Structure 1
């Protein structure tokens, strides 16, 4: 990827003031902070006795640096400020969303839905999207279902975590 491709938005909506672009090394500290903020907000929904931290590495710069090199890592900006991020692993027509985060100040404003749509636009060859979200995260379930994802599986609670996961999938029309 050349310098121009790295800095240019891949999807933008001038009316909303949003753009999705590849994340850059200089974004990482801000992306780590965003990830921490998102998982801290989720803590209030966890069941009693559940592990209170976020996923391994969500709060560590070295992990985000690694993810920048092994996933398609995107930053979502609103009028020049990072308000969201997404990490996607693509293999042919299959994509797995490893993380999507929206700042708490931007939640409920359509940023997350716009990001999902922007990812679909940016990756038109993907026909099957998958992701997992914690079983206690009811607002996440509603969010993904509102955006066309269907529940495929519910895992049993993991003893070390104290919760299980909902596995979601979305099939895209083949063009």
Structure 2
């Protein structure tokens, strides 16, 4: 366990799958409703535990559930690579607790936790306008590529953040 800005970071285990899946489902479905007008939508397995189990609890990723005041409030999963070009796989905060600086504090923890990183890479759906604002304006990422730009549902932004010059 590590602390940062009143948050605690614990490695994700099988016991966390249910609560994190419920929260992840709420987070992704909120954006899908807001920006696509659909009830559900997210990466494969986001709503049945498969994603958190596979990429959080049973993978070579570095994965953390995030706790504030003894309550799970979100999670972050990152791939740390030998070449120091690392990937943000997933970062989410319970939509009931958004706009309180929790997501930014989570990202700042990750940057401090992995200071040898030369570049971070992330992807986010094209329709997730709040994510674009968060990653670009709050965290300092730059949009470097747009995949499937003609598809409202499949469009994906690839973002990068250079950490060293």
Length-normalised TM-score, structure 2: 0.88
Give the number of the structure whose alpha-carbon radius of gyration is greater: 1
Residue 152 of structure 1, aligned match among 131, 138, 144: 144
* Conserved? CA contact 2:118–2:162, under 8 Å: yes
* Conserved? CA contact 2:65–2:74, under 8 Å: yes
* Conserved? CA contact 1:127–1:172, under 8 Å: yes
Displaced runs of 4 or more, over 4 A: none
| Gap change, CA 1:120 and 1:39, over 3 Å in 2 | same
Residue 59 of structure 1, aligned match among 47, 53, 65: 47
Match of 2:164 in 1: 173
Unaligned residue ranges in structure 1 (runs of 5+): 1-7
Instruction: Deviation per CA, 1:19-69: give whole Å up to 9, x if none.
Output: 222222221111111110101111123346x79421101112244222122
Using the alignment, how far apart are the partners of 2:11 and 2:162 within structure 1?
24
How many residues were matched structurally?
161
Length-normalised TM-score, structure 1: 0.83
| Gap change, CA 1:66 and 1:118, over 3 Å in 2 | same
Using the alignment, how far apart are the partners of 2:150 and 2:24 within structure 1?
22
Question: Could you say what the CA RMSD is over the residues aligned between the two structures, in angstroms?
Answer: 2.0
